[in-house]
Amino acid sequence: MIRNGLYHITVEMLDGIKGGNQGVMVVRDGTLRGGDSFFYAFGTYTAADGRWKGEVTNQEHSPTFGERPVWERKVVTIGFTGTYTDDAAESDGIALAGKQSIRFKSRLRLLVPD
């Protein structure tokens, strides 16, 4: 199982989509909660034998004023799969932002274990 704790997350958009992001994510017993200065995210995951998969919803909590137009004013649903170690995780995912599908890669690095 992925270690419970506070993680730093980075997101890299793929397929020529401009943008990316970083923030924090709390990983605990099959749930994900996190965010940054403009967005919050929540979801669930399953993990076993070094592999994990899950679903996340991402929403804006403060106006971005055009700073992150791909996600701005949208409820974004995300599905992901990937791998994990004792202190990190990686995943490939697809986000549905409005009618646009966006492939991305994310990396989590454990900051504070529970």
pLDDT digits over 58-72, tens only? 998 887 776 665 666
- Residue, of 63 and 31, whose pLDDT is higher: 31
pLDDT at res. 32: 98
The ranges assigned to domains in the chain are: 5-113
pLDDT at res. 21: 83
d(CA 86, CA 33): 19
How deeply is 48 buried, as exposed, middle or buried, from its count of CB atoms within 10 A (0-12, 13-18, 19+)? Answer: exposed
**CATH 2.40.128.380 assigned to 5-113:** yes
Which three-class secondary structure state does DSSP give residue 41? Answer: strand
The mean pLDDT of 95-104, rounded to a whole number, is: 87
pLDDT at res. 64: 72
pLDDT over 70 at 26, yes or no = yes
Contacts of residue 65, defined as CB under 8 A and 6 or more positions apart, other chains included, come to none
pLDDT over 90 at 28, yes or no = yes
The mean pLDDT of 83-98, rounded to a whole number, is: 93
* Mean pLDDT (the chain, rounded): 90
